[in-house]
Amino acid sequence: MKINKETIKELSEYLNEFNLTEIEYTDKDTKIKVSKTSATVTTAAAPIHAISATENSKNDITKQQSTSGTKVTSPIIGTAYHAPEPGAKKFVEIGKKIKKGDTVMIVEAMKTMNHVPSTADGVVKEICVEDGQPVEFGQTIIIVE
């Protein structure tokens, strides 16, 4: 099979002329696909995301190091909810006394509501996630002292 360089060059020019990122040409048994990526967008987007993730992890580490007490963590990846339904009374609030096994939050994953129990008796010192916020496995959701 012979590659038609003239067709590829013409398609490449169309990418620039019409500000496209990809173009495909088919003729009988021949199929040519020409694409480009915008280096500026790719390089600009990646560092911003990386910086954001780094700053968030630094904040989490600082928060975890400066806070004493028993950390109750999320057992799964999902969305954390402070109450059993919208408008209902929250499971815990800062300063509230709780016992080991009491539900402190619900983490919803794949339409399943998973009750997260406290791992210790004590007083809620800090609630580390907002209502409706996504959480990761092992992420601290409350701190009990």
CATH number of the domain bearing residue 104: 2.40.50.100
Question: Would 96 be classed as within a structural domain?
Answer: yes
What is the distance between the alpha carbons of residues 43 and 53, in angstroms, rounded to a whole number? 16
Range of the domain at 20: 5-36
Q: For residue 125, what pLDDT is reported? A: 93
Give burial (CB, 10 Å; 0-12/13-18/19+) of 78.
buried
pTM for this entry: 0.53
What is the distance between the alpha carbons of residues 103 and 117, in angstroms, rounded to a whole number? 4
Residues 74 and 131 in one domain: yes
Question: Would 25 be classed as within a structural domain?
Answer: yes
Residues of the chain with pLDDT under 70: 1-2, 37-67
Q: For residue 54, what pLDDT is reported? A: 42
Residues 30 and 78 in one domain: no
Q: Are 73 and 141 in contact (CB under 8 A)?
A: yes
Q: For residue 10, what pLDDT is reported? A: 85
Length in residues, the chain: 145
Question: Would 57 be classed as within a structural domain?
Answer: no
Q: Are 12 and 22 in contact (CB under 8 A)?
A: no
Residues 76 and 120 in one domain: yes
Residues 18 and 75 in one domain: no
Q: For residue 131, what pLDDT is reported? A: 92
Q: What is the largest CA-CA distance in the chain?
A: 78
Question: Would 41 be classed as within a structural domain?
Answer: no
